[in-house]
Amino acid sequence: MAAARETIARRGLANADSPVLLMVSGGSDSTALAYIARQLADEGVIGPVAMLHVNHCLRPGAADQDEAFVTQLAELLAIPLFSCKIDIAGEAQREGGNVEAVARRERYLAANEALASLCRHAAAPLSAGRIFTAHTADDRVENFYMRSMVGTGPGGFRAMKYANGPVTRPLLDVGREDLRAYLCKRECDGLPCACDAEGNLWREDATNAHTDRFRAYVRHEVIPRIKQRSPQLLDVLGRTMNLIADEDDMLENMAFDLVKCHMTWTEALPERPPAYEEGGVLAPAFGSQPAPLQRRAVVQVLQAMLSPDARVETASVDAVLAAWDRPGTREAKPRGGYVANIQGNLAISANKHGVRLEPMAVFRARRKK
């Protein structure tokens, strides 16, 4: 509790005027988050709270029991509950997508809708609302090693942000075992606790133990071995990731200024607001900027054109920078006649006036004129 309160205050994650939506699956982490948030709301540290539970319909029987447990928890804490069922497997099959990615997308779509409803009910602007997730120090360390194994940019080693838009993580400095000890202590102290049919204080997702899944493999096979050599892994690596995060934030701000200075976005028609997905032109001088900032700036541009949640591919960034001869040097200049097609069906083309990024359909229409 104290660690969560300190993290919220130190990181400015929320205040007494912030309506807070809690994403609660019924696992130990999110169950602890519900108890903690209830107390923080009672103390006036955060504003009114509500809970969201999404039944993914992936584990017949068990998923419904998770939903029943969260419903009981919400009633015990007198917290309004938003609850919904989504056939994630069916949706993934229809789209040909990854089940976990589809589940995450649908979960956050539901969370944004629920947050908007909570803010309306609280007569608060949507910008004041926060979505609290129960990500812990363990989740952050797992992300670090997962990214170490599959590759990432330097900023990726910060692993998780304390705040990303309205999504905030007040438990990021707390270990999973600490949260489970907190739940057990509540029961020992005779405080009201939700229990499932077997008397458990939280719900266990059996699939978390399946080491054929990447995260479960890292959680059960990799991290325990490292902890044998470094028992203080969560604290030590947490401090390291915070140092990385500080430098990452600085570089991201510098890259933002670079985009602001060198990117001319396509002007919107008078009757509608600017549409960044229509692209624009990077000035020739952009090519002579330091390579690390170039890469970050290109990611920001592509993120704006694709979507805030899009995973910008390394090949796409490389294709944009390839539009310059000798990028990152004083002699850099656009390669006239260069054309490339990248993710999202975006076109890149270059001439002496700069490097243009735009939807392929717009590129082809211009070429026909």
Are the CB atoms for 57 and 89 separated by under 8 Å?
yes
Provide CB contacts within 8 A for 177, sequence distance 6+: none
CA 328 from chain center: how many Å? 30
Q: Which two tokens stand for residue 158?
A: 């910060």
Write phi, then psi, for 332 (nearest 5 degrees).
Answer: -60, 140
- Pairing state between β 49-55 and 163-164: unpaired
Provide CB contacts within 8 A for 8, sequence distance 6+: 14, 40, 45, 46, 170
CA distance 70 to 51: 9
- Pairing state between β 130-132 and 167-168: parallel
The strand pairing partners of 105, in sequence order, are none
Letter for the amino acid at 287?
Answer: G
- Pairing state between β 20-23 and 280-282: unpaired
For residue 60, the SS3 value is coil
**Closest by alpha carbon to 359, among 350, 348, 367, 369?**
348
Alpha helices in 78-175 (DSSP H): 88-95, 99-121, 137-150
Does 25 appear as a known binding residue?
yes
Q: What kind and span of H or E run contains 251? A: helix 233-262
The strand pairing partners of 83, in sequence order, are 53
Does 28 appear as a known binding residue?
yes
Which single residue is written with the structure tokens 């309205």? 166
Does 30 appear as a known binding residue?
yes
Residue 237: C-alpha distances to residues 5, 141, 142, 168, 173 (Å) = 21, 7, 11, 20, 11
Does 26 appear as a known binding residue?
yes
Please give the annotated binding residues, written as ranges: 25-30
Binding site for ATP, residues? 25-30
